[in-house]
Structures are given as C-alpha cells and as structure tokens.
Amino acid sequence: MEHRTYPEFSTHYPLLLTTFMKRPVNLYPDQIGVVYRNHVSGEYARFTWLQWYRRTSQLAHALVNKLGIKAGTPGQPGDRVGTMALNTHRHLELYYAVPCIGATLHPINVRLSHEHVIYTIRHAQDKVIFVDDTVMPLLEAIYDQIKDVVQMVVYMSDKPGLPQTRIQNIVTYESLLADQADVYDWPYLHEDTNATLCYTTGTTGQPKGATFTHRQLYLMTLHVMAMQSVSNTPNYDAEGAPGVRLGENAVPMLNTPMFHIHGWGAPFTCVFNAQKIVLPGTFTVQGFCELVEREKVTAVGVVPTVAAMLLEYKDFDKYDLSSLVRVGVGGGALPLGLKSKLEKMLPNFRVSSGYGMTETAPSTIASFVKKHMVDWSKEQLDEVMVKTGLPILGLEIDVVDEHGKSVPHDDQSVGEIVIRGPWVTEQYFKAPERTAEVWYGGWFHTGDIAKVDAEGYIVIADRLKDVIRSGAEMVPTVLLENLISMADFVLEAMVVGVPDPVWGEKPLALVSVRPGYQGNEEDVIAFLTTHGVDTGKITRWMLPKLVAITQDIPKTSVGKYNKKAVREQLEKFLAIAKDVSHHHE
Amino acid sequence: MEHRTYPEFSTHYPLLLTTFMKRPVNLYPDQIGVVYRNHVSGEYARFTWLQWYRRTSQLAHALVNKLGIKAGTPGQPGDRVGTMALNTHRHLELYYAVPCIGATLHPINVRLSHEHVIYTIRHAQDKVIFVDDTVMPLLEAIYDQIKDVVQMVVYMSDKPGLPQTRIQNIVTYESLLADQADVYDWPYLHEDTNATLCYTTGTTGQPKGATFTHRQLYLMTLHVMAMQSVSNTPNYDAEGAPGVRLGENAVPMLNTPMFHIHGWGAPFTCVFNAQKIVLPGTFTVQGFCELVEREKVTAVGVVPTVAAMLLEYKDFDKYDLSSLVRVGVGGGALPLGLKSKLEKMLPNFRVSSGYGMTETAPSTIASFVKKHMVDWSKEQLDEVMVKTGLPILGLEIDVVDEHGKSVPHDDQSVGEIVIRGPWVTEQYFKAPERTAEVWYGGWFHTGDIAKVDAEGYIVIADRLKDVIRSGAEMVPTVLLENLISMADFVLEAMVVGVPDPVWGEKPLALVSVRPGYQGNEEDVIAFLTTHGVDTGKITRWMLPKLVAITQDIPKTSVGKYNKKAVREQLEKFLAIAKDVSHHHE
C-alpha cells in the first residue's frame, strides 16, 4: 500500500475563489442568481446559477484556448486581463473565470483621467481588454497609446454584432463564448497565485497597483462573513425593523463599481452567500429605485454622495423601497445628518459605516454594535453607528503617533491608522520603492489619521494631507462636515484649508443647500455654534472662517469629496465665499 | 530606503489560535467571559476576559520556564502536553496556552479503557500531564505504566494543596501560575505548526492520533462562523421564538467534553465570538438545569442520549429553561421522536443535527434550511432539520460507491462518505500505514455510509460495519431506531444485527421504555407497522425479528450506542429478547 499523504487536500487545501463560485451552483442550480438591468435601455437579463456558471465555464475555455491567457504561479502573476466594464453579469463572469484559471484580473477604473487609464494598462501590460459598449468611446480615445501592449479587445454588449471601430483584433464577448464547452475542470491552483491587480486612484502621482492572491480574497470574504455572524442586533430593531437574519435570502444590489476595490468585496461575498445578486450597470437614481422595488433589494452599499442624490430625487416617493433594510456607507465619512435624513424617508433603513482602501482589498473597519449596547436607545446607537467602526476580526489595526506608538484611546488624540493582516496587499506591482513607502516596521501605513475612543471605536479624522493646520492646532474637517450636514437645510458640506498669512491655514466650508430649503452662510455658523460649540463638540476657534454656498462641490471619480480639485480652483470658490471670521471674536 | 516586503504580515499572515484568544480581551476586558461550576461542590468561579487572559499568559510562562515545554515547527510537532480534565476554566486556559506557545495539546479521553488511556499517553509521549482532582484516581491507577514517559504532573483543583499521592514530580496548577508574569509576548508561529493531537475512541484496534495545525483549527472555526452568517431563518421562528441573531450575546454551555474532538469546536468558536462561556465540569442533569437558569444559557450541544436523560429528570419542571433557543445534537442520529418530545417540553427549543468525527476536527455536516424553505411549515422543516444536513461551506463532501463514483441523489442509494478540505487531518501521528487506510485517491474515507436526497441533504445511514446484511438486502438500522423512538412509550432504541443461519444476519431491537409508560415487544412492532410499513417508510422485511425491552442499552464512553458491546454480550440480550418474526408473514 502506498504511504503518501495528501496535504493538498487537507492541511494545505488551497483557499481559492473557485470554492466561492461552486457553492451557489451546487446548492441552487435552477434559482435566479444574477439579475442585470441595462441602465441605458432599462432591459433586464436574468440568469440561474447554473446558467451563470456555464457561461463562466465557457469564458474560461475561451480565455485559455482562444485568447491564449496563461496561468501564473506563486510570486509570478499570470497574464493580466483588463476589464473596462460596469456592473454587469459579464463582469461578474470575468471576476471568476480569469482568477480561477490562474490569470490576473485587472479591473480598470474607467473614471480615472485618460493619462492614468493609459498608465495602468501599460503598467499592468494587459494582454486582453474586455470593454463594455458604453465604455467603448474611452477605449477608442486611448487606443493608440495602448495598442502595442493589448493584443485583443473583447466587446461586451446586450446588442449583437460589433460597432464601427478602428480597433483591430476585436471580437464580441458572446461569439467568444458561443462554441465553448460549458463544463470546465477548474484547477486546484496554489492559493498564493495572484488573482487581482487593483490600481489606486492616484491622487498623489501615478496610480499604484495593489496585488491580491486567491488566499487573500478568500480570507477577507470569510472574515467579513464571520464578523456578520457575531453581529449583535440592537433591541430597537425588533420594533422598527429587521433584527432577523436574511441569510441567503438577502438580495444585495452591487452599487459600488466593480472596478473600484473589488466592488467593496461584494462580488465575492454575495456569490459565496448564494444570494440573488442585482447588477445595475452603473448607478442612476431611477435605476436604483426601480431595481429595489422590482427585485426586492434588501442591502446596498453606497458612498455618502450617492445617498445624498437619493434624497434629492423628485420621484423618490413613487417607489416602494420598503425591502431595503441594510445600507452600508463607505468611501467617506458618514455625516450623522445624512443618516438621520435617510432614516426618516425610509423607515426600514439602517445605515452603517466603514473604511477601507485599495491596498486593503478593502474591508478593514466596519460599524459594529458591542454586546452591552444592544439595549441602548436608537439615539445612542446612532452615535455608535456613524463612527467609522471596529476592526474586522482577524486584522490588527492600530492608530499610532509619529514614533509608531499607539495613541491613547481618549477620543481626542489623533494618529495614523496602520494595519496588518491576511488580506493587506504585500506589494505594489513592479514598484518596490513605492511599496517601501507604505510598508515599514511591520505595518502597512494608510496615510489616514484617526482617533480612538475608550470602547475601541476608530473614527477617521482626515487624510494626513487634508488636515488643516491652523496655528499650532489641527482642525478636524470631517467633524465639521458632519456637524454642518446635520442642519435640515444642508445637503452636503465639505471643509478644506486655504492659505492664511497669520494662521498658516484657515477653514473654508463649501455647503450645498437642499432643494426647497433656505439657508445662508450665517445660518451655517449659527448652526455650528448652537450644535457644536455650545454642546462642547468643537471649540470656537475651529469654526470655519469662510463659508461658500454652492451646488458644485467637486467629487472624485468614485464620488468622494475632491479636496484637491477645490485647491486647484481655489480662486473660484474664494470669490463666492463669505468671510464669517467675526464669529471667532 | 530598505526595499523588503512583509509577507508574514500580509499574504502569509499566519492563521493562529492566538488571534481567537486576543479578541475578547481586546473588546470586553472587564466583562465576565468564563463561568465555571464545580459539578461536585456546586460552587461557581467567574472570570472576566482580562482575568482569564492573564491566567492563560501566566500558564504560558510556566509551560516554557518551569516545565521546559518546547515549541514545534511545521512538520515537527513541539512537546506534547496531555490533559486529563473536564470542562473547566483551567482546561480552557490549556486549550490556548499550549498551542499558542507552539506546543501540542493532547486532550486525553478519560473515558477510554485504562489500556487505551495508557496507549495514547505513551504513543503521544506526553511530557507533562495536567490532571483534574476528580480524574486523579484514574491517573493513580495507570501511573506505573506511564511514569517513564511523563516527567511532571500538574494537579488542578478548586481546593488548595496537593492530595496524598504516590505520584512524584507533582505540583499544583495554581502554585505553578502564582509567581508568573501575566503578560506574554505570544509568538507569530508558522500557521502549519501542530496545535492539537486527538485520539479516536479505538472501536477497531488501538486509538489513532489525528493531528491538527493552527491553520486547520482556525479555518474550521471561520467556516463554521461563515456558515452561521448565511443561515436562513425559517418564518415560523417569528412566532414561536428566536429568529433574531444573538451574536456575541449568545451564552453557550460547553456540554460536550473538551477531551472529545475539541469539544465539537466550541472552545475555539465561542472564544473568538467573545461569548460568555459556561463550563459545567462534567454533565449532570441538575447542573445542566441550574446553569441554564442562572446563567441564561442560550445554546448547548448534546448527544442524543443526554437529551434523553433530560426528558427523564424528575425536577425538570422546577427550572426556568426558557433562555435555551438552540440545541445542536451530534455524535449520533437525531430521532424525530426525541426531537418533538424535547420541543414539547421546551417551547423555545430548536434542535438541529450534525455529523463529524475525530479526523475532521470535527465539523463537516450540519443542519441547514435552504433558502426556498423558509416559508415551509414547522412540520416540513422538522423533517429537514433531523436530516444530518449539508456540508459546511469550504469542504468537499461526496457519497461514493465502492468504485469511488458518486451515488445518485435519490434518497435511496447508499455509499461511503468521503471528505477533503482545509481541516481534515492530514495524517495520524506516527502511523503512516493507518493513514494510508483512510486517505487514498485524494479523499479521506470516513467509513460511514449515507444517502443523499435531491436537495443535496446527506443522511447518515450507518457505520459501514454496523449495516445489517439480511439476505441480499441492507437493513438501515438508524432508520429503524428513529422510527421506534417516535413512539410515546419509548425512551431509546438501538437496532443491531445478530447471526442468523438463513439470512446471515437478522435485526434485533433493544428498546428502553419511558418511566410511567407501558409498552411491550408487540407494541414496538405494532408501532413500526403503523408508522413505518403502512406509511411506506420501511418495507415489511425490514421489521426487527427480535425485540428486547431493557433499561440497559450499552453506551460508549462518549454516550453513543455501543453496538460492539451488544455483540460481546449477545447471549444476555438474546435471553431476554422475544421472537416477533411472525409479523413478517
């Protein structure tokens, strides 16, 4: 008898995305797994898990046989496959077929500048690019600068055929799949095989390519699920809404672009959870409302500015959005005012917040009610839920001063967030110098600053570079933004530092007003005085010295406040700003 | 600038039990984490998470400095530390201190025969043994046969001082900890370091030592938690009881002995969950009821025979057990009759079933309501919940015929359960031949046979060796046992095959009757005919040919039906058995 052992099927059983992909088709082959709504035509496509799995298997065959995509090994990424795509069933097929054959998925952020899109494709050396019809004009525009790298373009559309194009070596996605076998013998890859390559938005210099292995994405997903399993349901939910767990019957809508940090992990979690996945193409207010009503969506993740767009939508009341029970807000701080406004309009709605970045895949910090808080009142819990949150279990997260020493948990001292754990990127692709700028002393340095309270809750204070240094003091702009946004008349608020000959910097607040409401610069300061200074949340010297009422608060490609853009157009904003510094006296 | 990377803190961040141990003390240092009730004196000991963590740190120092315990490396286990202990806070301290310094924990099954206890200690070469005062007589009895191996004995008791003993080299646990520092710098071990060594009960030959690494136990725990996060709450729970998730506020009582397959994983899951852990020493009916009432226990795991003991307890009605909302039943099939009887007596009670074995650490198959079943009636769901269940996510489980081919999912065809996945033991300790008997063709072979229904639910049919081969047919004894146990007058039922000159084997049913109830051999067959044959669940030729009414159904050390013991005392049981074979005519 042979005395071999099987570590590959036991102690070293590989943690692969393949395991996620197989679960729903094994459990629920004939149930609808993926629903896609074309945001231009409004047409729907619906797939059972078996149909989706077979298409993904066909895609795998096509990648290997027709496109010649090669698998990688640990430390040696396979061929890179770029996607220029929105949230569609095809993108979800690519999310699994590419990594599960051992190649590297590179979801290209199509909202970056042309220069940066070109840079990421050339830097990644994408062998093939899969492009959505609606993104085709972008690819056309940059094609001359990437055609020496990209050997083939695959055109993805709900309509048959190819468009008029000067791009050579182009085929349609559906013709690529058409004659492929729909069963694929997925390999047991090594878990350290690279799976994805995600570039940062490049707010400082060129984008950096964070790399992730199968093991990393598997472990992120599993820890996020484990975190959900220990979540403590507050008692108040028993009256208002859902303390019950929805489990696999949750219906998530993938609202965050899948080209943006793995769509916040939803393409992994939701598939492994075997939940019906609703894909909206790209976010539109109408599409959002229609999909929630029609597909009974229960959970969405949004950035604060998208939440603000919902509040503005005139037909909002025409839809039945009562199925929505969980809304995660990330990609920026969650203003308490925005939270309470949304909850007023949607009674079943419970918002939560979180934090992550490209280099952390991204899940790192999330809203969490501690076990002794379940009996707290809704008002007390709201204060907890708008804090950035607690570390996801399995991660080590610290907030440290400039000497690497943990700051006191006093809800005041600020320091830099540092992280280590199973799913933090090990290195940027082909950029050891830039890796060394963030990974030193055994920690990944986020460049974000935060404070910690006595309960361990972390609250993001600001980007290091966004802190306003006014005299010897640091003005916490996010706190100001949150306070201002609580005013009824305010839709959004952004605070930035502008040069000041005396103080070095002074705070400028840009404030947009809700339609139908009145409010001027003095009202902003009056509100801050009453609800901030008088309540002890801020000191008088933190009050903005300048306020500009404007409906044009600049946003980044992913909907975050773009403070860099404000600084670049500072003259414009200063021209409409009113000096309110007399309030400091 | 140094251009190194940190795989040890990112892509290869080790999956260690240390991470579990640190979570509750970081989150809830001053909350009660561990409650222990001495089952002899009835006295309680209560520890905050910080107190428990400090004691565990002191233990780690003592292991290294005073006992000279050495850490292992991947493939080379560290020193083995044996425990002869019940479910106490000290055992829970050992569960973390030993593996987290890199050594191997060997929880000795003190219910094995003396011969097997001696065998496991000598085979494991336990350098130190930690022994509970109540288990001390066993250690005394076998000491001469192990004293050349065991260098030191540590005596654990709630009373101070050492007992009269002929054992040399013995110290008390509390004196060992007393002068140690209560902060320990836990090492970042390699995740492939061996953590535990668990011996099988040795029903065939000497016990076999299944080995588990930190990675394996970490991944088992995480997958079990992830499985809980996707559990689908049936609608009927909304009326009767708890569809809400308890999260960290669940209060688990660790009822399964911690020397029995990691106490079904509870010492890992409950610590990582930061739940208040209730430890009863050993199971007693009174202790069980008192702890549930006083500590508001919400979840327990029991074997079917323990559940049957509860039904018999005369003072059962004197306790308020309404906090109990989840009871997992494993270590044997769950008879539907037992389930419904328990649910009648405890309205908030929901039973579930599961399957696992020493070699699988043990979680493999568990009750699970599929997503489309949440609206089913309680009666329909009960039929689902008593099935052994679905594979835990992350595992590959198949039921195969003798050629290794999957059996049809027709709820009839039986085959052997084979498993592979991250937490299946890679090999038995120092026994390559015995490993090769179970690990071949890329699968671990359980020796248990089962059938699979169209929904994928696996139902354990029997141990391979326990199948009754009557003529050309296989008699499913577990099915018979389940049916008989549904009769009101029946407490427990076991069916075994006895030699028969015509059929090879014929079924003998051993049946115990509930106190205060009447029922004879003919009643058993009459019930089986009405509720089994007439309903099409069994055929007439499956009816037992012999029935014995007895209150002495033999059990193994872990409370399972001991069919081997019946065969050994067959004459005794045949003497009281009544021939009921006329019913076949």
Where residue B456 falls (left for φ over 0; alpha for ψ -120 to 50; beta otherwise) is left
- Binning pLDDT at 50, 70 and 90, where does residue B328 land? confident
Burial of A30 per CB tally in 10 Å (0-12, 13-18, 19+): exposed
Provide the pLDDT for residue B432.
95
Report how far residue A34's alpha carbon sits from residue A54's, in angstroms, rounded to the nearest whole number.
13
Which among B4, B28, B442 is the nearest to A9, CB-wise? B442
> For residue B520, what are its two tokens?
């004879």
pLDDT, tens only, B63-73: 999 999 999 99
Positive or negative, the Cα torsion across B542, B546, B547, B550?
negative
Cα–Cα distance list, A227 to B225, B230, B580 (Å): 8, 12, 56
Mean pLDDT of chain B: 90
Shortest distance, CA B275 to any CA of chain A (angstroms): 9
- A vs B: CB pairs below 8 A: 209
Q: Do B27 and A433 touch (CB under 8 A)?
A: no
The residue among B265, B234, B225 whose CA lies nearest residue A231 is: B225
Instruction: Please report residues of B whose CB lies closer than 8 A to that of A442.
Output: 6, 9
Best of A3, A4, A9 to disrupt the B interface by mutation (most B CBs within 10 Å)?
Answer: A9
Report how far residue B212's alpha carbon sits from residue B427's, in angstroms, rounded to the nearest whole number.
9
> For residue A457, what are its two tokens?
């809750």
Share of chain B above pLDDT 90, in %: 63
Query: What does the pLDDT profile of chain A (585 residues) look like in tens digits?
Result: 457 899 999 999 999 999 999 999 999 999 999 999 999 999 999 999 999 999 999 999 999 999 999 999 999 999 999 999 999 999 999 999 999 999 999 999 998 888 889 999 999 999 999 999 999 999 999 999 999 999 999 999 999 999 999 999 999 999 999 999 999 999 999 999 999 999 998 666 789 999 999 999 999 999 999 998 888 877 655 444 445 568 899 999 999 999 999 999 999 999 999 999 999 999 999 999 999 999 999 988 877 777 878 888 889 889 998 888 877 776 666 677 777 787 777 766 677 788 899 999 999 999 899 999 988 988 888 888 888 899 999 999 999 988 899 999 998 888 899 999 999 999 999 999 999 999 999 999 998 889 999 999 998 876 655 667 666 565 768 778 888 988 889 988 999 888 887 777 788 999 999 888 888 999 999 999 998 888 767 777 788 999 999 988 988 776 778 887 888 888 999 999 999 887 665
Of A466 and B326, the one with more pLDDT: B326
Which among B229, B233, B420 is the nearest to A226, CB-wise? B229
In CATH, the architecture of A214-463 is 3-Layer(aba) Sandwich (3.40)
ipTM of the predicted structure? Answer: 0.86
Of A516 and B472, the one with more pLDDT: A516
Torsion angle (degrees, nearest 10) of CA B107, B113, B117, B123: -110
pLDDT, tens only, B487-519: 889 988 999 888 887 777 788 999 999 888 888
Q: At what angle do helices A49-65 and A89-100 cross, to 10 degrees?
A: 50
- Binning pLDDT at 50, 70 and 90, where does residue B238 land? very low
Instruction: Please report residues of A whose CB lies closer than 8 A to that of B421.
Output: 9-10, 13
**Mean pLDDT, residues B349-356 taken together:** 79
Of B535 and B536, the one with more pLDDT: B535
Instruction: Please report residues of B whose CB lies closer than 8 A to that of A4.
Output: 436
Which among A11, A426, A456 is the nearest to B216, CB-wise? A11
Share of chain A above pLDDT 90, in %: 64
Per CATH, is B52-212 categorized as 3.40.50.12780? yes
Quick one: closest CA in A to B225, which residue?
A: A226
Which among A433, A437, A442 is the nearest to B6, CB-wise? A442
Shortest distance, CA A339 to any CA of chain B (angstroms): 24
pLDDT at position B563 over 50: yes
Q: Do A248 and B393 touch (CB under 8 A)?
A: no
In CATH, the architecture of B467-584 is 2-Layer Sandwich (3.30)
Q: Do A233 and B245 touch (CB under 8 A)?
A: yes
Report how far residue B106's alpha carbon sits from residue B259's, in angstroms, rounded to the nearest whole number.
8
Quick one: closest CA in B to A213, which residue?
A: B11
> For residue A521, what are its two tokens?
């610069």
Residue A362: asked if its preceding bond is cis (omega within 30°), the reply is yes
Of B391 and A382, the one with more pLDDT: B391
Q: Do B435 and A27 touch (CB under 8 A)?
A: no
The residue among A534, A539, A474, A469 whose CA lies nearest residue A505 is: A469
Quick one: closest CA in B to A431, which residue?
A: B3
Which among B233, B371, B372 is the nearest to A245, CB-wise? B233
Query: Domain A468-584 class?
Result: alpha beta
Which among B215, B248, B390 is the nearest to A230, CB-wise? B248
> For residue B151, what are its two tokens?
């260098």
pTM exceeding 0.95: no
Domain limits of chain B? Answer: 52-212, 467-584
Q: Do A233 and B225 touch (CB under 8 A)?
A: no
Query: Domain A47-207 class?
Result: alpha beta
Instruction: Please report residues of B whose CB lies closer than 8 A to that of A231.
Output: 245, 247
pLDDT at position B482 over 60: yes
**Mean pLDDT, residues B123-140 taken together:** 97
Q: Do B11 and A192 touch (CB under 8 A)?
A: yes
Q: Do B15 and A422 touch (CB under 8 A)?
A: yes
Shortest distance, CA A69 to any CA of chain B (angstroms): 24
Instruction: Please report residues of A whose CB lies closer than 8 A to that of B370.
Output: 27-28, 248
Are the folds of A47-207 and A214-463 the same? yes
Task: Kindly provide the residue ranges of all beta strands, DSSP E only, lying in B133-235, ordered along the sequence.
Answer: 152-156, 170-172, 194-199, 209-213
